[in-house]
């Protein structure tokens, strides 16, 4: 029986599955392991079931024991892992695609609604009490007839577009290439980032994290957006230059932001807290029981498939 290190707590049913499949070393206190402790705990293990909170950079990967043959990431993203370093060590890296599409897209739509309709201010006002209705009280942006720009029209982007279209939004998107007609759902394709941003009353960031997308939304590209645009991010925090975005909020270039992800999670840039128009969530994209169960089970299955066949369909390196 293969031995694996599971770096964070999973739902009980998933830990039971791992226990039946492997000799599993669990993180019973759900502590965030330091890189050094992760290296130490992986001694004698054949694989690691990691989390996005684990920073498996080149230095860490190069110090892993030779017995480690696979890192199965409990996420669809894998920006926390240096893929080239893993490949050079002969370590397979896998992820959990598809199973979190619906749950993450739901949060993506919530961000759009929350930011456009001033949900943070409304919640605060309701909790404080004593608010008085008036014709202009907490007026927000209506979605019907508004142009939604989807940056990254993958599975999640397509699902957000589908829901947004049902709300009367007009869909535009930017990808490396144009989608087939059955996937783009009649949306307008833009072959440049500038082209997309210039028509995005609301921007939904859904693209994968990569070296090319770090700070893609920055001081320069924010200026392509229409004045008073809304920006939401359900992808990865590294895609947005926080200082540039906060500056744009202060200048009212940007009307509001909706963020489920941000740099240095869980430590939010305090500049956002100065703006009532910032609708912030603590990375809830996949946070449903069904989705987290499916993700963990797939991460376990990825390891099992790799050791059974020598390969895995969800291998990303």
Which residues are annotated as catalytic?
236, 265, 283
Query: What does the radius of gyration of the chain's CA atoms come to, in whole angstroms?
Result: 21
Closest C-alpha to 236, from 270, 272, 200, 211: 211
Contact 64, 39 (CB under 8 A): yes
Contact 77, 303 (CB under 8 A): no
Closest C-alpha to 7, from 38, 39, 45, 35: 38
List own/partner pairs for 28-37 with CB under 8 A and 24 or more apart. Answer: 32/8, 33/7, 35/59, 35/60
Which residues on neighbouring strands pair with residue 152, listed in sequence order? Answer: none
Which residues on neighbouring strands pair with residue 93, listed in sequence order? Answer: 71
Strand spans (E) along 202-305: 202-205, 229-233, 254-259, 278-280
Task: Give me the residue label for tokens 């791992």.
Answer: 18
Distance of alpha carbon 178 from alpha carbon 29, whole angstroms: 46
Distance of alpha carbon 149 from alpha carbon 205, whole angstroms: 8
């Amino acid at each position: 029986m293969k031995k694996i290190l599971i770096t964070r707590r999973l739902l009980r049913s998933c830990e039971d599955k791992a226990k039946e499949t492997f000799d599993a070393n669990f993180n019973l206190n759900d502590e965030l392991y330091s890189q050094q402790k992760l290296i130490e705990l992986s001694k004698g293990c054949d694989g690691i079931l990691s989390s996005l909170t684990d920073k498996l950079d080149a230095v860490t990967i190069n110090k892993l024991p030779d017995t480690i043959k696979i890192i199965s990431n409990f996420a669809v993203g894998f920006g926390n892992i240096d893929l080239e370093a893993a490949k050079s060590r002969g370590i397979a890296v896998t992820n959990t695609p598809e199973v979190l599409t619906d749950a993450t897209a739901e949060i993506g739509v919530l961000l759009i609604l929350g930011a456009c309709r001033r949900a943070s201010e409304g919640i605060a006002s309701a909790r404080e009490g004593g608010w008085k209705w008036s014709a202009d009280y907490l007026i927000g942006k209506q979605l019907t007839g508004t142009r939604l720009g989807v940056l990254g029209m993958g599975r999640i982007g397509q699902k957000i577009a589908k829901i947004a279209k049902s709300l009367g939004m007009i869909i535009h998107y930017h990808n490396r290439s144009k989608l087939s007609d059955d996937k783009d759902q009649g949306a307008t394709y833009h072959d440049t980032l500038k082209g997309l941003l210039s028509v995005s009353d609301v921007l939904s960031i859904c693209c994968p994290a990569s070296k090319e997308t770090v700070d893609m939304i920055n001081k320069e590209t924010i200026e392509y957006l229409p004045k008073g645009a809304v920006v939401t991010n359900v992808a990865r925090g590294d895609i947005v230059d926080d200082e540039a975005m906060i500056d744009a909020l202060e200048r009212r270039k940007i009307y509001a932001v909706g963020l489920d992800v941000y740099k240095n999670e869980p430590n939010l840039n305090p500049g956002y807290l100065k703006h009532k128009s910032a609708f912030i969530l603590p990375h809830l994209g996949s946070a449903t029981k069904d989705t987290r169960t499916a993700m963990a089970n797939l991460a376990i299955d990825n390891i099992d498939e790799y050791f059974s066949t020598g390969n895995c369909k969800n291998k990303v390196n």
